[in-house]
Amino acid sequence: MTSHARRGAEEVTHSSFFALSREQDTSILRLQSEDGTNRLTRNCVSSLTEIIGESAREKRALVVTGNDRFFSAGAELAEIAALNGPAAYEFSRMGQELMRIIDEFPAPVYAAIAGYCMGGGLDLALACRCRIASPHAVFGHRGAALGLVTGWGGTQRLPRLIGKGRALEMLVAAEKIGARQALRIGLVDAIAHDPIAEAVRQLQSDPGVARLDPRGIP
């Protein structure tokens, strides 16, 4: 269920899986869940695909973020384990569609990452144009340790971003890395104590951001 509210000049849309605030030229999509891990369940992926698809029509720049402890812990493993072949294929297709919408978004999409960014959550961050991390952010693709391989594009986007060797270390060895190493190898673009504020600041100077006139019309 999705609800809408206004707070001052800020419009906010809520659901069980996100809170979307619209502020002038930038929208901020905060992932959320009851346990705070922001796992990408089937219902969550479906909800995010819908709201990001709707946001694309507004052509505002978008910042995707989580909370101080988790950007996203990735897919819900118990849910995956219960899927049969056709259902697993469909879930993979759903995730790929979400990543495609982010990748082809008509305005820049930045990921502001604090805490853990794991598995499918990392795939989501990789689909964004730019990644800003807090100093305590942690990144990893732990699927190999569980006998899993991501089906959401991470096996393609990660090597393109950081090189095949580094990507294999993360994908095959299930290696976790911190923010400083992520910056050093090119996984993230900057480290900031307030990654959301830094993402908004960079977006304000990004030539790909469409500016809105006082009436809110591009």
pLDDT in tens, 62-115: 999 999 999 999 988 788 778 788 887 888 899 999 999 999 999 999 999 999
Percent of the chain with pLDDT over 90: 64
- pTM score over 0.85: yes
Question: Residue 216: pLDDT band by 50, 70, 90 thresholds?
Answer: very low
Structural contact between residues 71 and 65, judged by C-beta atoms closer than 8 angstroms = yes
Top-confidence range, 8-22, 83-97, 103-117, 199-213: 103-117
Please give the Cα distance from 140 to 118 (Å, whole number). 5
Please give the Cα distance from 100 to 156 (Å, whole number). 13
Q: Is the domain defined by 3-139+177-204 classed in CATH 3.90.226.10?
A: yes
Joined together, the tokens standing for residue 52 give 């990001």
Contacts of 193 (CB under 8 A, 6+ apart): 134, 135
Q: Where are the domains of the chain?
A: 3-139+177-204
Please give the Cα distance from 185 to 72 (Å, whole number). 21
What's the rounded mean pLDDT across residues 203-212?
Answer: 68
